[in-house]
């Protein structure tokens, strides 16, 4: 997957799941707003080497090469504020961490976390089920492990 080509694999990532699939016009608007934000994003007055991309119409990936400019608390707050406002303008929530998006029958499926656990208990989903781990922390892992088998994600630890 070619994702944020100008950034190296070690770049730190933050992943946000849209509360519903974005339509193409919303993706275009979000990308335009994100480009403007990234062009002005700084940490302690230094420009961030960063980018934002929308994946599969569902995930917003923010990435920053912290070897160029480390993200500060204020810079992260500014990025989150931008994403909260951008989501609000589109009528979507990018900050709901209680939805699990996974692959079922070669398509994206989703379930609230509690329902996902019920599916796990029933054997409908298991360790091999591809899930999109929003806690993935670097761009290299997103490029190669997004989605990942559930058994290799934070969800496996919760299941124990």
Flag whether 140 is in a domain.
no
Flag whether 2 is in a domain.
no
Residue 5: in which H helix or E strand, if any?
A: none
Strand order in the sheet with 12-17: 12-17, 59-64, 50-55
The answer to pTM > 0.85 is yes
Same domain for 37 and 63, yes or no, is: yes
Other Cβ atoms closer than 10 A to 149: 16
Same domain for 116 and 74, yes or no, is: no
Which domain, by its residues, includes 123? 99-133+145-159
Same domain for 63 and 86, yes or no, is: yes
Same domain for 105 and 152, yes or no, is: yes
Flag whether 51 is in a domain.
yes
Flag whether 63 is in a domain.
yes
Written as one string, the DSSP assignment of 81-131 is: HHHHHHHHHHT--S---SEEEEEETTEEEEEEHHHHHHHHHHTSS-TTSEE
Please report, in tens digits, the pLDDT of each residue of the chain (160 residues total): 446 889 999 999 999 999 999 999 999 999 999 999 999 999 999 999 999 999 999 999 999 999 999 999 999 999 999 999 999 999 999 998 899 999 999 999 999 999 999 999 999 999 999 999 999 999 999 999 999 999 999 998 877 6
Same domain for 18 and 70, yes or no, is: yes
How far is it, in rounded angstroms, from Cα 69 to Cα 46?
7
Same domain for 117 and 153, yes or no, is: yes
- How many domains does the structure of the chain reveal? 2
How far is it, in rounded angstroms, from Cα 120 to Cα 139?
28
CA 51: distance to chain centroid?
A: 12
């Amino acid at each position: 997957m070619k994702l944020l080509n100008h950034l190296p694999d070690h770049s730190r990532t933050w992943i946000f799941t849209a509360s519903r699939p974005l339509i193409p016009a919303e993706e275009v608007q979000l990308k335009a707003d994100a480009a403007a934000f990234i062009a002005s994003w700084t940490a302690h007055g230094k420009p961030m080497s960063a980018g934002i991309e929308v994946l599969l119409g569902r995930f917003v990936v923010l990435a920053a090469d912290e070897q160029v400019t480390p993200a500060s608390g204020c810079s992260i707050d500014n990025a989150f504020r931008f994403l909260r406002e951008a989501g609000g303008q589109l009528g979507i929530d990018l900050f709901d961490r209680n939805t699990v998006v996974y692959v079922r029958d070669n398509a994206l499926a989703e379930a609230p976390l509690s329902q996902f656990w019920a599916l796990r208990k029933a054997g409908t989903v298991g360790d091999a089920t591809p899930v999109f781990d929003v806690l993935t922390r670097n761009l290299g892992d997103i490029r190669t492990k997004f989605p990942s088998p559930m058994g290799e994600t934070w969800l496996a630890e919760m299941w124990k």
